[in-house]
Amino acid sequence: MKKVILISLLALTVGVLNAQSWQEIFPDTLLQNYICEALENNSDVRIAQLSLEQSEAMLKAAKLGYLPSLSVSPSATVSKAQSSSTTFTYDLPITMTWELNLGGKQHFQKEIVKAQMFQEMELLKYTQIQLIADVANTYYTLVMLDRQYAVTQQGIQVQEENLRALQALKEVGQQNEAAVNQADANLQNIRASLPMLKAQIQKTESALCLLLNRQPDSIARASWDDVQSVIMDAEQSVPLETLSSRPDVLAAEYGLRASFNNVKVARSEFYPTFTISGSAGWTNNLGEVINPAKLLLNVIGTLVQPLFSMGKLKANLKVAQAQQEQAKITFEKALLTAGGEVRDALAECLACQQREEARSLQVEASKKAYENSKINMHYANTTYLEVLIAQSAWLDAQLLQTTDWLEKQQSFINLYKSICPE
């Protein structure tokens, strides 16, 4: 299976970017502030942090598993028989129990807890990376929606002018009623999209507020002209071994380590357990207080070798082995998934870059067509209706450009998630 994983990874084409911090990848100042706020206040991150604290506490307890346990159980009795004086009896024993499994059970249990703690640590990192990507994705979506809202408003103005021009042409007999109705329908269609854009902007703001653990409210963001895009180089190669440092892959690896030691714990149950029990204390059961220099001592050593436990020990071992195999499959899947995500993200980034270049040419050509149509109109070579049509095509190209821009940002955000840099 390891050979299969290695072959699959080597089959991945192209490389990935060098390690960058998220501050370098997301340079926009407002976005950086939102990311910092989310990392501090987000509910999922706080829950992951508390899970890590629990694992750390469990590890501290596991490290003390080699030490004996001590307990104090004082007791006192007051008794009185008929025609006799009251008797006070008390005991102050200190009990010690030390258990040592000859198969190394305590050591393996500690290793399990340690692996689980590292697993929670990597899951916390993975949660933070996903959160950073979600905040960036939502922020850039807001910028794109603002741009589309502004372009749509311009489109409404163009369609209104278009409708008035057609109505004027109809009055002089150069256009018919159908053309006017079609222009009016186009105008109403654009007007109908405006409130939907408002609703999408509000929903996106609420989604970002939820990530920030805020009450739903408006969100400040950069304008289309001032926003700073994601900075990543999808063409710079690094060794594919960096996939093994992804937090989700490491978490799966630590899960495999924990299951491996769990099998050892199950095997250690077949070994004998040596137990030493002892007690010491004071008592007046003999009718007088014992001199502390002559303490009552009681020490018992016990060696227990399991012989028959109704098949529970063998069943526990088989369950642990099956769980280890499950963890192995999970680790292999995580590694292969990581490679696939990197490959897909790189392909998406390259496709978005190529489409962005073509779309920029389309917008530039549409703009030139609109400007030339205005110039030609002055020389009676172009009608005013043709100018409005060219302007409408230019606005449509700008709307498509905003969508392409957002998809490009999202493709680099997906690449960031697949690489999981520090």
Q: What structural domains and CATH numbers belong to the chain? A: 2-419 (1.20.1600.10)
In which band, very low, low, confident or very high, does the pLDDT at 295 lie, cut at 50, 70 and 90?
A: low
Distance CA 390, CA 37 (A): 45
Q: What pLDDT is recorded for position 291?
A: 44
11, pLDDT greater than 60:
no
Per-residue pLDDT band for 30 (boundaries 50, 70, 90) equals: very high
Please report the pLDDT score of residue 28 as a whole number: 94
Residue 131: C-alpha distances to residues 46, 117, 210, 360, 370 (Å): 12, 21, 11, 31, 43
User: What pLDDT was estimated at residue 107?
Assistant: 84
Contact 392, 162 (CB under 8 A): yes
pLDDT above 90: residue 2: no
End-to-end CA separation in angstroms for the chain:
29
Q: Identify the helix (H) or strand (E) that includes residue 95.
A: strand 87-101
Residue 240 pLDDT: 63
Residue 282 has pLDDT above 70, yes or no: no
- Other Cβ atoms within 10 Å of 121 Cβ, number: 19
> pLDDT digits over 144-153, tens only?
999 999 989 9
Are 387 and 369 contacting, i.e. CB atoms less than 8 angstroms apart? no
Q: Is the pLDDT of residue 84 over 80?
A: no
- pLDDT of 283 over the 70 cut: no
- pLDDT per residue as tens digits for the range 87-143: 667 677 777 777 777 788 888 888 999 999 999 999 999 999 999 999 999 999 999
- Name the pTM for this structure: 0.81
The whole-chain average pLDDT of the chain stands at: 82
Distance CA 23, CA 416 (A): 12
State the Cα–Cα distance between residues 280 and 272, nearest whole angstrom. 27
Closest CA to 39 of 29, 30, 49: 49
